[in-house]
Chain A
Amino acid sequence: MTRPIPLLTVLLLLAVPLSLLAGRVWLDPWSTPNAAVILAELRLPRALLALVIGGGLGAAGAAMQGYLRNPLADPGLFGIAPGAALGAVASLWFGYAASAWLLPLFALAGAGGAMALLALIAGRSASAALFTLAGMMIASLAGALTSLAISLAPNAFALSEIVNWLMGALTDRSWPDVWLAAPLTLAGIALLRLAGPGLDALTLGEPAARSLGVNPARLQWLLIGGTALTVGSGVAVAGVIGFVGLIVPHLVRPLTDRRPSSLIVPSALAGALLVLAADVMCRILPLVTELRLGIALSLIGAPFFLRLLLRLRRGWL
Protein backbone atom coordinates (compact mmCIF):
# COMPACT_ATOMS: atom_id res chain seq x y z
CA MET A 1 0.00 0.00 0.00
CA THR A 2 1.89 3.06 -1.19
CA ARG A 3 -1.00 5.52 -1.58
CA PRO A 4 -0.03 7.88 1.26
CA ILE A 5 3.64 8.04 0.24
CA PRO A 6 3.17 10.13 -2.94
CA LEU A 7 0.65 12.37 -1.16
CA LEU A 8 2.94 13.04 1.79
CA THR A 9 5.95 13.48 -0.51
CA VAL A 10 4.10 16.16 -2.48
CA LEU A 11 3.06 17.90 0.76
CA LEU A 12 6.67 17.85 1.95
CA LEU A 13 7.90 19.23 -1.37
CA LEU A 14 5.49 22.13 -0.90
CA ALA A 15 6.16 22.59 2.82
CA VAL A 16 9.96 22.66 2.77
CA PRO A 17 10.36 25.76 0.53
CA LEU A 18 7.63 27.54 2.48
CA SER A 19 9.35 26.73 5.77
CA LEU A 20 12.59 28.20 4.43
CA LEU A 21 10.86 31.49 3.78
CA ALA A 22 8.69 31.58 6.91
CA GLY A 23 9.77 33.20 10.13
CA ARG A 24 9.30 36.22 12.33
CA VAL A 25 10.80 37.96 9.32
CA TRP A 26 9.59 36.46 6.04
CA LEU A 27 12.46 35.98 3.69
CA ASP A 28 12.49 37.31 0.15
CA PRO A 29 15.40 35.54 -1.53
CA TRP A 30 15.80 38.42 -3.98
CA SER A 31 15.57 41.43 -1.70
CA THR A 32 16.34 40.40 1.89
CA PRO A 33 19.93 41.25 2.78
CA ASN A 34 22.14 38.17 3.27
CA ALA A 35 19.24 35.93 2.21
CA ALA A 36 21.57 33.28 0.86
CA VAL A 37 23.52 33.06 4.12
CA ILE A 38 20.34 32.96 6.22
CA LEU A 39 18.94 30.23 4.02
CA ALA A 40 22.09 28.13 3.81
CA GLU A 41 23.33 28.47 7.36
CA LEU A 42 20.18 28.88 9.44
CA ARG A 43 16.92 27.91 7.83
CA LEU A 44 17.98 24.99 5.62
CA PRO A 45 19.76 23.02 8.39
CA ARG A 46 16.87 23.80 10.74
CA ALA A 47 14.30 22.56 8.20
CA LEU A 48 16.34 19.44 7.46
CA LEU A 49 16.70 18.75 11.16
CA ALA A 50 12.92 19.08 11.61
CA LEU A 51 12.44 16.56 8.81
CA VAL A 52 14.99 14.16 10.26
CA ILE A 53 13.69 14.33 13.83
CA GLY A 54 10.04 14.15 12.81
CA GLY A 55 10.75 11.30 10.43
CA GLY A 56 12.53 9.30 13.09
CA LEU A 57 9.87 9.91 15.74
CA GLY A 58 7.03 9.07 13.32
CA ALA A 59 8.64 5.82 12.19
CA ALA A 60 9.50 4.80 15.76
CA GLY A 61 5.92 5.51 16.87
CA ALA A 62 4.44 3.40 14.09
CA ALA A 63 6.81 0.51 14.83
CA MET A 64 6.25 0.71 18.57
CA GLN A 65 2.45 0.73 18.22
CA GLY A 66 2.74 -2.27 15.91
CA TYR A 67 5.03 -4.13 18.28
CA LEU A 68 2.89 -3.56 21.35
CA ARG A 69 -0.33 -3.87 19.32
CA ASN A 70 -1.47 -0.81 21.20
CA PRO A 71 -2.55 2.41 19.48
CA LEU A 72 -1.66 4.43 22.58
CA ALA A 73 2.02 3.41 22.60
CA ASP A 74 4.60 6.17 22.16
CA PRO A 75 8.34 5.61 21.79
CA GLY A 76 8.92 8.12 24.59
CA LEU A 77 7.33 5.72 27.06
CA PHE A 78 10.06 3.11 26.75
CA GLY A 79 13.01 4.72 28.38
CA ILE A 80 15.13 5.58 25.36
CA ALA A 81 14.09 9.25 25.09
CA PRO A 82 14.36 9.80 28.88
CA GLY A 83 17.74 8.00 28.81
CA ALA A 84 18.98 10.31 26.05
CA ALA A 85 17.62 13.32 27.94
CA LEU A 86 19.46 12.21 31.07
CA GLY A 87 22.71 11.96 29.11
CA ALA A 88 22.26 15.47 27.72
CA VAL A 89 21.35 16.85 31.14
CA ALA A 90 24.51 15.26 32.57
CA SER A 91 26.62 17.08 29.97
CA LEU A 92 24.95 20.39 30.87
CA TRP A 93 25.34 19.66 34.59
CA PHE A 94 29.05 19.05 34.20
CA GLY A 95 29.43 22.12 32.01
CA TYR A 96 30.48 20.21 28.89
CA ALA A 97 27.80 21.71 26.68
CA ALA A 98 30.09 24.42 25.36
CA SER A 99 31.48 21.86 22.93
CA ALA A 100 29.18 21.32 19.94
CA TRP A 101 29.69 17.55 20.01
CA LEU A 102 29.74 16.65 23.68
CA LEU A 103 26.07 17.25 24.45
CA PRO A 104 24.80 15.09 21.56
CA LEU A 105 27.38 12.44 22.36
CA PHE A 106 26.28 12.35 26.00
CA ALA A 107 22.67 12.11 24.83
CA LEU A 108 23.51 9.26 22.46
CA ALA A 109 25.37 7.53 25.29
CA GLY A 110 22.26 7.93 27.44
CA ALA A 111 20.08 6.45 24.69
CA GLY A 112 22.58 3.62 24.24
CA GLY A 113 22.61 2.95 27.98
CA ALA A 114 18.82 2.86 28.12
CA MET A 115 18.78 0.55 25.08
CA ALA A 116 21.33 -1.79 26.65
CA LEU A 117 19.38 -1.90 29.90
CA LEU A 118 16.13 -2.54 28.03
CA ALA A 119 17.75 -5.34 26.04
CA LEU A 120 19.32 -6.79 29.17
CA ILE A 121 16.04 -6.92 31.07
CA ALA A 122 13.58 -7.72 28.27
CA GLY A 123 15.77 -9.23 25.57
CA ARG A 124 16.03 -12.76 26.80
CA SER A 125 12.31 -13.41 27.16
CA ALA A 126 11.37 -11.43 24.01
CA SER A 127 8.04 -10.70 25.70
CA ALA A 128 6.21 -7.50 24.79
CA ALA A 129 4.77 -7.20 28.32
CA LEU A 130 8.21 -7.41 29.93
CA PHE A 131 9.55 -4.98 27.31
CA THR A 132 6.86 -2.44 28.25
CA LEU A 133 7.42 -2.78 31.99
CA ALA A 134 11.21 -2.62 31.62
CA GLY A 135 10.88 0.48 29.41
CA MET A 136 8.59 2.19 31.90
CA MET A 137 11.00 1.39 34.73
CA ILE A 138 13.93 2.85 32.75
CA ALA A 139 11.87 5.93 31.82
CA SER A 140 10.93 6.42 35.46
CA LEU A 141 14.53 5.99 36.65
CA ALA A 142 15.92 8.34 34.00
CA GLY A 143 13.20 10.89 34.83
CA ALA A 144 14.05 10.70 38.53
CA LEU A 145 17.78 11.14 37.86
CA THR A 146 17.03 14.09 35.56
CA SER A 147 14.95 15.70 38.32
CA LEU A 148 17.79 15.04 40.76
CA ALA A 149 20.23 16.75 38.40
CA ILE A 150 17.91 19.76 38.18
CA SER A 151 17.46 19.95 41.93
CA LEU A 152 21.23 19.71 42.50
CA ALA A 153 22.19 22.02 39.62
CA PRO A 154 25.63 23.54 40.34
CA ASN A 155 24.53 27.06 39.37
CA ALA A 156 21.60 29.05 38.04
CA PHE A 157 23.03 29.09 34.51
CA ALA A 158 23.26 25.29 34.36
CA LEU A 159 19.73 25.04 35.77
CA SER A 160 18.41 27.39 33.11
CA GLU A 161 20.30 25.52 30.37
CA ILE A 162 18.93 22.16 31.52
CA VAL A 163 15.32 23.33 31.79
CA ASN A 164 15.46 25.10 28.42
CA TRP A 165 17.05 22.12 26.73
CA LEU A 166 14.48 19.71 28.14
CA MET A 167 11.72 21.73 26.48
CA GLY A 168 13.01 20.70 23.07
CA ALA A 169 13.77 23.15 20.27
CA LEU A 170 15.43 23.59 16.89
CA THR A 171 16.58 27.14 17.57
CA ASP A 172 20.18 27.83 16.54
CA ARG A 173 20.78 24.31 15.25
CA SER A 174 23.28 24.04 12.43
CA TRP A 175 24.81 21.64 9.92
CA PRO A 176 26.83 19.57 12.44
CA ASP A 177 23.53 18.66 14.13
CA VAL A 178 22.15 17.52 10.77
CA TRP A 179 25.27 15.47 10.02
CA LEU A 180 24.96 13.81 13.41
CA ALA A 181 21.24 13.07 13.42
CA ALA A 182 20.52 12.30 9.76
CA PRO A 183 22.63 9.15 9.25
CA LEU A 184 21.66 7.70 12.61
CA THR A 185 17.97 8.37 12.00
CA LEU A 186 18.09 6.89 8.50
CA ALA A 187 19.85 3.80 9.86
CA GLY A 188 17.17 3.55 12.57
CA ILE A 189 14.32 3.81 10.06
CA ALA A 190 16.04 1.11 7.97
CA LEU A 191 16.11 -1.19 11.02
CA LEU A 192 12.45 -0.46 11.75
CA ARG A 193 11.57 -1.26 8.13
CA LEU A 194 13.36 -4.60 8.48
CA ALA A 195 11.08 -5.27 11.45
CA GLY A 196 8.00 -4.66 9.26
CA PRO A 197 7.07 -8.24 8.29
CA GLY A 198 7.51 -9.39 11.89
CA LEU A 199 5.27 -6.57 13.09
CA ASP A 200 2.65 -7.59 10.52
CA ALA A 201 2.73 -11.17 11.80
CA LEU A 202 2.44 -9.92 15.37
CA THR A 203 -0.96 -8.50 14.42
CA LEU A 204 -2.21 -12.06 14.96
CA GLY A 205 -0.67 -12.39 18.44
CA GLU A 206 2.66 -13.83 19.56
CA PRO A 207 1.96 -17.56 19.05
CA ALA A 208 0.61 -17.02 15.52
CA ALA A 209 3.54 -14.74 14.71
CA ARG A 210 6.00 -17.40 15.80
CA SER A 211 4.09 -19.97 13.76
CA LEU A 212 4.64 -17.68 10.74
CA GLY A 213 8.39 -17.96 11.25
CA VAL A 214 8.97 -14.75 13.22
CA ASN A 215 11.93 -14.81 15.60
CA PRO A 216 10.69 -12.73 18.57
CA ALA A 217 14.20 -12.02 19.89
CA ARG A 218 15.41 -10.71 16.49
CA LEU A 219 12.26 -8.61 16.18
CA GLN A 220 12.82 -7.09 19.60
CA TRP A 221 16.44 -6.27 18.79
CA LEU A 222 15.38 -4.54 15.58
CA LEU A 223 12.82 -2.53 17.53
CA ILE A 224 15.22 -1.54 20.29
CA GLY A 225 18.01 -0.69 17.84
CA GLY A 226 15.74 1.22 15.47
CA THR A 227 14.09 3.19 18.26
CA ALA A 228 17.39 3.97 19.99
CA LEU A 229 18.86 5.35 16.76
CA THR A 230 15.84 7.40 15.71
CA VAL A 231 14.66 8.68 19.08
CA GLY A 232 18.13 8.88 20.62
CA SER A 233 19.57 10.95 17.78
CA GLY A 234 16.50 13.20 17.80
CA VAL A 235 16.81 13.90 21.53
CA ALA A 236 20.56 14.36 21.10
CA VAL A 237 20.18 17.33 18.78
CA ALA A 238 16.82 18.84 19.70
CA GLY A 239 15.89 17.86 23.25
CA VAL A 240 12.70 16.10 24.29
CA ILE A 241 9.94 16.30 21.68
CA GLY A 242 6.90 14.32 22.66
CA PHE A 243 3.66 13.15 21.08
CA VAL A 244 4.92 12.96 17.46
CA GLY A 245 5.32 9.18 17.67
CA LEU A 246 1.87 8.88 19.19
CA ILE A 247 -0.06 11.22 16.91
CA VAL A 248 1.41 10.55 13.50
CA PRO A 249 0.57 6.84 13.10
CA HIS A 250 -3.06 7.68 13.86
CA LEU A 251 -3.16 10.36 11.21
CA VAL A 252 -1.65 8.03 8.63
CA ARG A 253 -3.33 4.73 9.51
CA PRO A 254 -6.63 5.44 7.68
CA LEU A 255 -4.63 6.06 4.49
CA THR A 256 -2.98 2.62 4.64
CA ASP A 257 -4.22 -0.96 4.83
CA ARG A 258 -3.42 -0.75 8.58
CA ARG A 259 -0.61 -3.32 8.52
CA PRO A 260 2.18 -2.01 10.77
CA SER A 261 4.74 -2.41 7.97
CA SER A 262 2.68 -0.25 5.63
CA LEU A 263 2.69 2.49 8.26
CA ILE A 264 6.41 2.96 8.90
CA VAL A 265 7.50 5.01 5.87
CA PRO A 266 4.28 7.08 5.67
CA SER A 267 4.60 7.80 9.41
CA ALA A 268 8.19 8.93 8.86
CA LEU A 269 7.02 11.31 6.12
CA ALA A 270 4.06 12.57 8.14
CA GLY A 271 6.24 12.98 11.24
CA ALA A 272 8.66 15.04 9.20
CA LEU A 273 5.78 17.19 7.95
CA LEU A 274 4.30 17.64 11.43
CA VAL A 275 7.57 18.69 13.09
CA LEU A 276 8.39 21.00 10.18
CA ALA A 277 4.96 22.64 10.41
CA ALA A 278 5.15 22.91 14.22
CA ASP A 279 8.61 24.47 13.98
CA VAL A 280 7.35 27.04 11.46
CA MET A 281 4.45 27.79 13.80
CA CYS A 282 6.92 28.34 16.65
CA ARG A 283 8.86 30.77 14.48
CA ILE A 284 5.96 32.85 13.21
CA LEU A 285 3.86 33.15 16.39
CA PRO A 286 4.02 36.76 17.60
CA LEU A 287 5.40 36.00 21.08
CA VAL A 288 8.11 37.80 23.03
CA THR A 289 10.42 34.76 22.78
CA GLU A 290 10.14 31.90 20.32
CA LEU A 291 7.80 29.13 21.50
CA ARG A 292 9.76 25.93 22.23
CA LEU A 293 9.04 23.15 19.78
CA GLY A 294 8.60 20.54 22.51
CA ILE A 295 5.97 22.73 24.20
CA ALA A 296 4.15 23.40 20.92
CA LEU A 297 3.93 19.71 20.07
CA SER A 298 2.77 18.83 23.58
CA LEU A 299 0.07 21.52 23.34
CA ILE A 300 -1.10 19.92 20.09
CA GLY A 301 -0.53 16.35 21.30
CA ALA A 302 -2.29 16.37 24.66
CA PRO A 303 -5.80 17.16 23.30
CA PHE A 304 -5.19 14.68 20.49
CA PHE A 305 -4.30 12.02 23.08
CA LEU A 306 -7.47 12.83 25.01
CA ARG A 307 -9.49 12.45 21.82
CA LEU A 308 -7.87 9.04 21.25
CA LEU A 309 -8.74 7.96 24.78
CA LEU A 310 -12.36 9.01 24.32
CA ARG A 311 -12.57 7.17 21.01
CA LEU A 312 -10.99 4.10 22.62
CA ARG A 313 -13.60 4.24 25.38
CA ARG A 314 -16.29 4.15 22.73
CA GLY A 315 -14.52 1.31 20.93
CA TRP A 316 -13.93 3.30 17.73
CA LEU A 317 -10.18 3.11 17.48
Chain B
Amino acid sequence: MSGLAVNEIAIRGRLNTVTAALQPGQVTAICGPNGAGKSTLLQALAGLITPTSGTVELGGAPLPQGRERARQIGYLPQIGEVAWDLSVASLIALGRLPHGDRGDAQVAAALAALDLTAFAHRPLSTLSGGERARALLARVLAGEPRWILADEPLAALDLGHQLTLLARLREAAKAGAGVVLVVHDLALAMNHADRVMVLDRGELAADGPPEEALASPVIARVWGVPARWLGEPGARALVCG
Protein backbone atom coordinates (compact mmCIF):
# COMPACT_ATOMS: atom_id res chain seq x y z
CA MET B 1 0.00 0.00 0.00
CA SER B 2 2.14 2.88 -1.23
CA GLY B 3 -0.64 4.76 -3.00
CA LEU B 4 -1.59 8.38 -2.53
CA ALA B 5 -5.32 8.73 -2.03
CA VAL B 6 -7.96 11.36 -1.41
CA ASN B 7 -11.13 10.10 0.24
CA GLU B 8 -14.22 12.23 -0.32
CA ILE B 9 -12.27 15.42 0.22
CA ALA B 10 -14.02 18.75 0.00
CA ILE B 11 -12.46 22.19 0.16
CA ARG B 12 -15.04 24.91 0.59
CA GLY B 13 -15.76 26.69 -2.64
CA ARG B 14 -13.08 24.84 -4.62
CA LEU B 15 -13.47 21.06 -4.44
CA ASN B 16 -16.59 19.00 -3.83
CA THR B 17 -16.25 15.42 -2.56
CA VAL B 18 -13.44 14.06 -4.70
CA THR B 19 -12.26 10.49 -4.23
CA ALA B 20 -9.27 9.00 -6.05
CA ALA B 21 -6.46 6.56 -5.35
CA LEU B 22 -3.23 7.19 -7.27
CA GLN B 23 -0.63 4.49 -7.84
CA PRO B 24 3.16 4.79 -7.94
CA GLY B 25 4.87 3.99 -11.22
CA GLN B 26 2.20 5.86 -13.18
CA VAL B 27 2.00 9.29 -14.76
CA THR B 28 -1.37 10.80 -13.84
CA ALA B 29 -2.58 14.00 -15.49
CA ILE B 30 -5.14 16.27 -13.85
CA CYS B 31 -7.04 18.24 -16.49
CA GLY B 32 -9.96 20.64 -16.50
CA PRO B 33 -11.02 24.15 -17.42
CA ASN B 34 -9.75 27.19 -15.53
CA GLY B 35 -11.08 27.26 -11.98
CA ALA B 36 -12.01 23.56 -12.01
CA GLY B 37 -9.93 22.87 -8.88
CA LYS B 38 -6.87 21.21 -10.44
CA SER B 39 -4.24 23.11 -8.45
CA THR B 40 -6.36 22.81 -5.31
CA LEU B 41 -6.50 19.02 -5.67
CA LEU B 42 -2.75 18.87 -6.29
CA GLN B 43 -2.06 21.00 -3.20
CA ALA B 44 -4.37 18.79 -1.13
CA LEU B 45 -2.47 15.72 -2.36
CA ALA B 46 0.78 17.48 -1.38
CA GLY B 47 -0.60 18.20 2.09
CA LEU B 48 -0.46 21.95 1.58
CA ILE B 49 -4.21 22.50 1.99
CA THR B 50 -6.22 20.95 4.78
CA PRO B 51 -9.52 19.68 3.40
CA THR B 52 -12.74 20.96 4.93
CA SER B 53 -13.84 17.33 5.06
CA GLY B 54 -12.43 14.00 3.93
CA THR B 55 -8.91 12.64 4.27
CA VAL B 56 -5.66 12.41 2.33
CA GLU B 57 -3.72 9.19 2.84
CA LEU B 58 -0.32 7.91 1.87
CA GLY B 59 0.21 4.18 1.99
CA GLY B 60 -3.09 3.72 3.79
CA ALA B 61 -2.15 6.07 6.65
CA PRO B 62 -2.89 9.75 7.17
CA LEU B 63 -0.51 11.98 5.26
CA PRO B 64 2.59 12.61 7.40
CA GLN B 65 3.54 16.18 8.23
CA GLY B 66 6.63 18.36 7.97
CA ARG B 67 9.93 16.87 6.84
CA GLU B 68 8.64 13.31 6.76
CA ARG B 69 6.00 14.32 4.23
CA ALA B 70 8.53 16.43 2.33
CA ARG B 71 10.87 13.44 1.96
CA GLN B 72 8.08 11.44 0.33
CA ILE B 73 6.25 14.06 -1.73
CA GLY B 74 8.03 16.53 -3.98
CA TYR B 75 5.91 19.49 -5.07
CA LEU B 76 6.63 21.82 -7.97
CA PRO B 77 4.40 24.92 -7.82
CA GLN B 78 2.82 26.53 -10.85
CA ILE B 79 4.77 29.76 -10.42
CA GLY B 80 8.46 28.95 -10.63
CA GLU B 81 9.42 31.67 -8.20
CA VAL B 82 13.05 31.91 -7.08
CA ALA B 83 13.55 35.03 -5.00
CA TRP B 84 17.35 35.24 -5.25
CA ASP B 85 19.64 34.73 -8.21
CA LEU B 86 20.97 31.38 -7.02
CA SER B 87 23.29 29.18 -9.02
CA VAL B 88 21.64 26.16 -10.62
CA ALA B 89 23.43 23.81 -8.21
CA SER B 90 22.33 25.85 -5.16
CA LEU B 91 18.75 25.84 -6.38
CA ILE B 92 18.78 22.08 -6.89
CA ALA B 93 20.39 21.54 -3.46
CA LEU B 94 17.28 23.11 -1.88
CA GLY B 95 15.58 19.82 -2.73
CA ARG B 96 17.75 18.20 -0.04
CA LEU B 97 16.40 20.42 2.77
CA PRO B 98 13.94 17.76 4.04
CA HIS B 99 16.84 15.32 4.35
CA GLY B 100 19.07 17.79 6.20
CA ASP B 101 22.13 16.92 4.09
CA ARG B 102 24.05 18.46 1.20
CA GLY B 103 23.23 15.48 -1.00
CA ASP B 104 26.09 16.10 -3.40
CA ALA B 105 25.50 12.79 -5.17
CA GLN B 106 21.76 13.40 -5.55
CA VAL B 107 22.33 16.96 -6.77
CA ALA B 108 24.86 15.71 -9.31
CA ALA B 109 22.41 13.00 -10.44
CA ALA B 110 19.59 15.53 -10.81
CA LEU B 111 21.87 17.87 -12.77
CA ALA B 112 22.82 14.99 -15.08
CA ALA B 113 19.23 13.73 -15.46
CA LEU B 114 18.12 17.10 -16.78
CA ASP B 115 21.28 17.81 -18.81
CA LEU B 116 22.24 20.69 -16.54
CA THR B 117 25.71 19.59 -15.44
CA ALA B 118 27.37 22.24 -17.60
CA PHE B 119 25.10 24.89 -16.07
CA ALA B 120 25.72 23.91 -12.44
CA HIS B 121 27.51 27.12 -11.49
CA ARG B 122 25.55 29.47 -13.72
CA PRO B 123 23.19 31.98 -12.04
CA LEU B 124 19.52 31.30 -12.79
CA SER B 125 19.17 34.74 -14.37
CA THR B 126 21.37 33.62 -17.26
CA LEU B 127 19.20 30.61 -18.16
CA SER B 128 16.52 30.41 -20.83
CA GLY B 129 12.94 29.60 -19.84
CA GLY B 130 13.39 25.94 -20.76
CA GLU B 131 16.65 25.59 -18.86
CA ARG B 132 15.08 27.25 -15.83
CA ALA B 133 12.09 24.88 -15.93
CA ARG B 134 14.48 21.92 -16.06
CA ALA B 135 16.41 23.31 -13.08
CA LEU B 136 13.20 23.70 -11.08
CA LEU B 137 12.22 20.09 -11.81
CA ALA B 138 15.75 18.95 -10.95
CA ARG B 139 15.27 20.58 -7.53
CA VAL B 140 12.33 18.22 -6.93
CA LEU B 141 14.21 15.17 -8.27
CA ALA B 142 17.19 15.86 -5.98
CA GLY B 143 14.93 15.15 -3.00
CA GLU B 144 14.32 11.64 -4.39
CA PRO B 145 10.65 11.79 -3.45
CA ARG B 146 8.38 8.78 -3.95
CA TRP B 147 5.78 11.15 -5.39
CA ILE B 148 6.33 14.04 -7.80
CA LEU B 149 3.45 16.51 -7.90
CA ALA B 150 3.91 19.25 -10.48
CA ASP B 151 1.51 22.09 -11.24
CA GLU B 152 1.65 22.93 -14.95
CA PRO B 153 5.34 22.17 -15.32
CA LEU B 154 5.02 22.30 -19.10
CA ALA B 155 3.37 25.71 -19.36
CA ALA B 156 5.36 28.31 -21.28
CA LEU B 157 7.74 25.70 -22.64
CA ASP B 158 8.30 25.04 -26.32
CA LEU B 159 7.54 21.62 -27.75
CA GLY B 160 11.10 20.31 -27.49
CA HIS B 161 11.44 21.28 -23.84
CA GLN B 162 7.99 19.88 -23.07
CA LEU B 163 9.01 16.50 -24.48
CA THR B 164 12.35 16.57 -22.64
CA LEU B 165 10.63 17.23 -19.32
CA LEU B 166 7.99 14.58 -19.99
CA ALA B 167 10.71 12.04 -20.81
CA ARG B 168 12.41 12.74 -17.45
CA LEU B 169 9.12 12.41 -15.60
CA ARG B 170 8.43 9.14 -17.39
CA GLU B 171 11.86 7.88 -16.32
CA ALA B 172 11.03 8.78 -12.73
CA ALA B 173 7.75 6.86 -12.99
CA LYS B 174 9.55 3.85 -14.47
CA ALA B 175 11.91 3.99 -11.50
CA GLY B 176 8.87 3.62 -9.22
CA ALA B 177 7.83 7.19 -8.40
CA GLY B 178 4.26 8.32 -8.69
CA VAL B 179 3.99 11.33 -11.01
CA VAL B 180 0.98 13.64 -10.90
CA LEU B 181 0.83 16.60 -13.28
CA VAL B 182 -1.66 19.39 -13.76
CA VAL B 183 -1.78 19.77 -17.53
CA HIS B 184 -3.75 22.20 -19.69
CA ASP B 185 -2.70 20.72 -23.02
CA LEU B 186 -5.12 17.84 -23.55
CA ALA B 187 -3.01 16.31 -26.33
CA LEU B 188 -0.02 16.05 -23.98
CA ALA B 189 -2.22 14.40 -21.37
CA MET B 190 -3.70 12.03 -23.96
CA ASN B 191 -0.31 10.97 -25.36
CA HIS B 192 1.87 10.91 -22.24
CA ALA B 193 -0.27 10.06 -19.20
CA ASP B 194 -1.24 6.60 -17.99
CA ARG B 195 -4.29 7.99 -16.30
CA VAL B 196 -6.27 11.22 -16.60
CA MET B 197 -8.47 12.83 -13.97
CA VAL B 198 -10.83 15.47 -15.37
CA LEU B 199 -12.15 18.05 -12.93
CA ASP B 200 -15.12 20.30 -13.62
CA ARG B 201 -16.26 22.98 -11.17
CA GLY B 202 -14.67 21.18 -8.25
CA GLU B 203 -16.03 17.73 -9.08
CA LEU B 204 -14.42 14.71 -10.68
CA ALA B 205 -16.03 14.56 -14.15
CA ALA B 206 -13.97 11.64 -15.51
CA ASP B 207 -11.17 9.40 -14.26
CA GLY B 208 -9.44 6.62 -16.15
CA PRO B 209 -7.17 5.82 -19.10
CA PRO B 210 -6.68 8.87 -21.36
CA GLU B 211 -8.72 7.42 -24.24
CA GLU B 212 -11.74 7.20 -21.92
CA ALA B 213 -11.29 10.20 -19.66
CA LEU B 214 -10.59 12.54 -22.57
CA ALA B 215 -13.13 11.10 -25.02
CA SER B 216 -14.87 13.63 -27.25
CA PRO B 217 -18.16 13.61 -25.25
CA VAL B 218 -16.25 14.39 -22.04
CA ILE B 219 -14.47 17.32 -23.72
CA ALA B 220 -17.79 18.60 -25.08
CA ARG B 221 -19.45 18.34 -21.67
CA VAL B 222 -16.63 19.74 -19.53
CA TRP B 223 -15.01 22.32 -21.80
CA GLY B 224 -18.11 23.06 -23.90
CA VAL B 225 -16.11 22.58 -27.06
CA PRO B 226 -16.93 20.08 -29.83
CA ALA B 227 -13.69 18.20 -30.49
CA ARG B 228 -12.39 14.94 -31.93
CA TRP B 229 -9.12 13.08 -31.76
CA LEU B 230 -7.07 12.23 -34.84
CA GLY B 231 -4.20 9.77 -35.16
CA GLU B 232 -3.22 6.61 -33.34
CA PRO B 233 -3.09 6.02 -29.56
CA GLY B 234 0.09 7.61 -28.24
CA ALA B 235 0.21 10.05 -31.15
CA ARG B 236 -3.16 11.78 -30.97
CA ALA B 237 -3.95 15.30 -32.09
CA LEU B 238 -7.04 17.22 -30.99
CA VAL B 239 -9.15 19.00 -33.55
CA CYS B 240 -11.75 21.42 -32.26
CA GLY B 241 -14.85 22.76 -33.93
Q: Which residues of A contact B (CB under 8 A)?
A: 69, 197, 200-205, 207-208, 210-215, 253, 257-260
Contact = CB atoms under 8 A, between A and B. Distances in A.
B216 interface: no
**Leading 3 A-B pairs by shortest Cβ distance:** A213-B70, A211-B75, A69-B83
Interface residues of B, number: 31
Interface stretch (B51-59, B90-98, B160-168, B226-234): B90-98
A215 B67 CA distance: 9
Given A205-B79, A259-B84, A211 B73 contact: yes
A205 B81 contact: yes
Contacts of A210: 48
Interface string B138-153: 0100010000000000
Contacts of A201: 94, 97
A207 B79 CA distance: 10
A203 B83 contact: yes
B202 interface: no
Interface of B: 43, 46-48, 66-71, 73-77, 79, 81-87, 90, 94-95, 97-98, 100, 139, 143
A213 B48 contact: no
Contact of B97 (A205, A207, A213, A215): A213
Nearest to A257: B90
Nearest to B149: A211
Contact of A258 (B47, B70, B75, B86): B86
Contacts of B48: 207, 210-211
B94 A204 contact: yes
Contact of B86 (A208, A212, A259): A259
A203 B70 contact: no
Contacts of B82: 203-204
A213 B85 contact: no
Contacts of B69: 213
A127 to B, nearest CB: 14
